[in-house]
């Protein structure tokens, strides 16, 4: 079995990526921060299907030491999926230095230093990296200033790493459109949801499975590197 590390893999899109890769013969290292219980439950579920096929690593990706700990605790790796992300509304005017540090550290700095730190281990296995970006890396989502900037950076990082880490490591990105409504602090109204759905050519949200299937496709596509695939139901046609 190959081994995949998925950041933010305990819930939502990350958990679906974990399940799908596991169904397709990957051992899964589920990284989590606050969702330790969910991560352990998912890991237990995967281990009950195939013995010793999953483990959990926790760590706050805002913290550079946690990134070193994660890098050091992985023995061998075929696939890194940088999925963890911070998302909440903040306009340019209301963004403070703490917002900048939190969002940039988790969404941009962490994928860079995880990729860099794990590149030797990935290289010996001819592995790959998949960054989960956002269609708003190209056109900004209003009131999400630092988030947009972080995802635009992640898109450029995907191309930069693809160039520099070749030929042994492939690096690609998946840019979701609207897949799952945000939770907690980023929650949006029913009227806003309706407006967003009307702008999608297919008139509906995608599913976490749509993202997971694309991650699997890229993980198995030996001659694709430096590419970013939008999974957005045609949302970008109307942007």
Q: Does 14 bind ligand NAP (CB under 6 A)?
A: yes
In the bound state with ligand NAP, the residue whose beta carbon lies nearer, of 87 and 113, is 87
Question: Of the candidates 34, 48, 91, 94, which one interacts with ligand NAP according to CB under 6 A?
Answer: 34
Given a contact cutoff of 8 angstroms between Cβ atoms, the answer to whether 3 and 29 are in contact is: yes
* Binder among 5, 67, 86, 200 for ligand NAP (CB under 6 A): 86
Which residues in 90-109 contact ligand NAP (CB under 6 A)? Answer: 106
Task: Give the span between the Cα atoms of 213 and 28, in whole angstroms.
Answer: 16
Asked whether position 84 contacts ligand NAP by CB under 6 A, the answer is yes
Number of chain residues interacting with ligand NAP (CB under 6 A): 25
The distance of Cα 112 from the centroid of its chain, to the nearest Å, equals 12
Q: Under a CB-based contact definition with an 8 Å cutoff, are residues 178 and 203 in contact? A: no
147 tagged catalytic:
yes
Neighbouring-strand partners of residue 176: 231
Measured from the CB of residue 213, what is the shortest distance to ligand NAP in angstroms? 14
113 binds ligand NAP (CB under 6 A): no
- Which residue lies nearest ligand NAP, judged by its C-beta? 8
Answer for which of 5, 6, 29, 61 binds ligand NAP (CB under 6 A) is 61
Contact code string over 142-181 relative to ligand NAP, x by CB under 6 A: ----------------------------------x-xxx-
Among 5, 11, 114, 219, binds ligand NAP (CB under 6 A): 11
Which residues carry out catalysis? 147
Q: Which residues bind ligand NAP (CB under 6 A)?
A: 8, 10-14, 32-35, 60-62, 83-87, 106, 132, 134, 176, 178-180
């Amino acid at each position: 079995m190959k081994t995949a590390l998925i950041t933010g893999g305990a819930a939502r899109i990350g958990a679906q990526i974990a399940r799908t890769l596991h169904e397709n013969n990957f051992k899964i290292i589920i990284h989590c921060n606050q969702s330790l219980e969910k991560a352990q439950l998912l890991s237990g579920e995967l281990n009950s299907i195939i013995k010793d096929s999953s483990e959990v690593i926790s760590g706050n990706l805002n913290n550079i030491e946690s990134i070193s700990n994660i890098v050091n605790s992985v023995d061998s790796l075929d696939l890194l999926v940088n999925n963890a992300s911070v998302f909440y509304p903040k306009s340019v005017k209301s963004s403070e230095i703490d917002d900048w540090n939190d969002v940039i550290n988790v969404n941009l700095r962490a994928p860079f230093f995880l990729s860099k730190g794990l590149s030797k281990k990935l290289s010996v296995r001819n592995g790959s990296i998949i960054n989960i970006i956002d269609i708003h890396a190209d056109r900004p989502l209003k009131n999400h200033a630092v988030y947009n900037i972080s995802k635009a950076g992640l898109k450029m990082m995907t191309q930069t790493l693809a160039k520099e880490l070749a030929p042994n490591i492939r690096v690609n990105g998946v840019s979701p459109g609207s897949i799952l409504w945000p939770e907690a602090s980023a929650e949006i109204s029913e009227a806003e949801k309706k407006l967003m759905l009307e702008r999608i050519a297919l008139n509906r949200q995608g599913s976490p499975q749509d993202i997971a299937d694309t991650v699997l496709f890229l993980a198995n596509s030996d001659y694709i590197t430096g590419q970013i695939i939008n999974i957005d139901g045609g949302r970008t046609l109307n942007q």
